[in-house]
Amino acid sequence: MSGALHELSAVELTTAIRRRDVSAREALEAHFDRIDAVNGRINAVITEDRDGAVVLATAADELTASGADLPPLHGLPMTHKDTHNTKGLRTTQGSTIFKDFVPTFDDLIIGRLKSAGVVTTGKTNVPEFAAGSHTFNEVFGTTVNPYDTSRSAGGSSGGVAASIAARIQPLGDGSDMGGSLRVPASFCNVVGYRPSIGVVPSVPTRNAWAWLSRSGLMARDVEDIALGMTAIAGADPAVPYAYPVQGSFGAGLQRDLTGLRIGWSPDFGLGVPVDAEVLRVLENELQVFAHLGAIVEEAAPDLRDADQVFGATRAFDFVLGLGDLVAKHGDAIKPEIRWNVEKGQRLTAQDLVDAALARTRLDTSVRRYFGRYDVFVSPAAQVLPFDAAERYPTSLNGVAFETYLDWMRSACLVSATGLPAVSVPAGFSADGLPVGLQIVMPHGSDVELLQVAYAFEQATAWATRAPELSPASDWERSGPGE
């Protein structure tokens, strides 16, 4: 093999294992060597099972030698997001309440990854109960950005994003309610993909009809996302949503963008504040689509109802999912979660009626928009990676934020539409901080969405720019102050 194993993509590494150019145990050794080399600087991987991983890698090599058909992710070492339950491996949710919890089952996405041949090695850090897009908690401290270890890696899939960017692993699982895949992808120069509903069912769940949060993947390139989706996509009888995807994730990513109609908005048509440097980078990259034959115009869907839809739905989901824990543990849970649960408890029947009507209006406006345009593109994150010692940004461009969610409105607005979205690397600020472009397409257009993202990625090559991890700073990663 030429080149370091930790630099290989998931496609390259699984192909090498399949061809017996490298063994699963060699891939695992390179994975752990990389954790030892860089994790102390970024605090992304917070739980490990080295002995168990060796057993799995050994079994993978035995399967290779047997000549049997091999699953798509055969032998691929992978840590998992700490909000995803992993059978026999500590899953804390980033909370002191569950700091010693070891589940007896796998969440569906984990079970599918394991069935696809993944060698589970450990867990990655998250904000408490995945609330907020900055990864810190009182159990493990703060995960920082591989491109600048004084900055946030985003969240809630921040540990996943940081580990992928730092070349610890090429592919990882995550989840996204208000940007938890897209914001850390933007911050860490990786790809974060939020699927259409029903593509990767969230099982188990207390609410089978929940629609706002999605399970998805992160990777350094779109091709790895497509490979991973061949393993984890598909319907499940435990949820009522049908599998909506048109086409196959394994059918290839090449696509001619000639004539594709793209609407771009720097502020979502709502005056959403976005850092000037983020806009400079993205507006510079829009010409890429034109060079690929697409037609780019400034146009946004009518998103006036999106804030109401997102706010009410998130509050309802929080009180349903975490209300009992907040009632029992109170101040042991961070204030942002308590605020969201309290907001849910204050919802009235009229609030739910108004949210349902707003969601219908929003859906109608989005459908009208996609009658004129094929794609909507926008900033994935409103801000550059911020000081990791902060809990969250409190203002931007002279606009004060009222809540811990307002700075990530660029992602929340799109979540409210329910549409599939991806953040793809789109360049760097003058100070070398990553910037992501958010690409959105109609429900069920997930394969086409990845094809558009792939065309942009191949034309720009920003995804190939690796971080140069500097020595660990003196800042103690104990997390932002209360």
Residue 98 φ/ψ region, left for φ over 0, alpha for ψ in the -120 to 50 degree band, beta for the rest: alpha
8-state DSSP, 97: G
Global pTM reads 0.97
Largest CA distance in the chain: 64
Name the residue among 149, 197, 194, 196 with its Cα closest to residue 173: 194
Taking 60 as the threshold, does the pLDDT of residue 471 lie above it? no
- Distance, in Å, from the CA atom of 416 to the CA atom of 270, rounded to the nearest integer, reads 15
pLDDT tens digits, 199-250: 999 999 999 999 999 999 999 999 999 999 999 999 999 999 999 999 999 9
8-state DSSP, 392: S
Backbone angles phi, psi at 387, to 5 degrees: -55, 120
- Distance, in Å, from the CA atom of 159 to the CA atom of 190, rounded to the nearest integer, reads 12
Q: For residue 129, what pLDDT is reported? A: 98
Backbone angles phi, psi at 361, to 5 degrees: -65, -40
Task: Supply the DSSP string of 272-332, one letter for each residue.
Answer: ----HHHHHHHHHHHHHHHHTT-EEEE-----TTHHHHHHHHHHHHHHHHHHHHHHHHGGG
Q: For residue 198, what pLDDT is reported? A: 97
How is residue 251 written in tokens?
């059918």
Backbone angles phi, psi at 400, to 5 degrees: -80, 135
pLDDT tens digits, 25-44: 999 999 999 999 999 999 99
pLDDT tens digits, 323-356: 999 999 999 999 999 999 999 999 999 999 999 9
pLDDT tens digits, 147-203: 999 999 999 999 999 999 999 999 999 999 999 999 999 999 999 999 999 999 999
Which residues, other chains included, contact 90 with Cβ-Cβ below 8 Å and sequence gap of 6+?
47, 100, 101, 102, 123
Q: For residue 475, what pLDDT is reported? A: 43
Between the alpha carbon of residue 305 and those of residues 129, 328, 341, 387, the distances in Å are 27, 34, 22, 32
How is residue 40 written in tokens?
């102390």
Q: Is residue 104 classed as helix, strand or coil in its secondary structure?
A: coil
Counting residues of the chain whose pLDDT is more than 90, the rounded percentage is: 96
Catalytic residues: 81, 156, 180
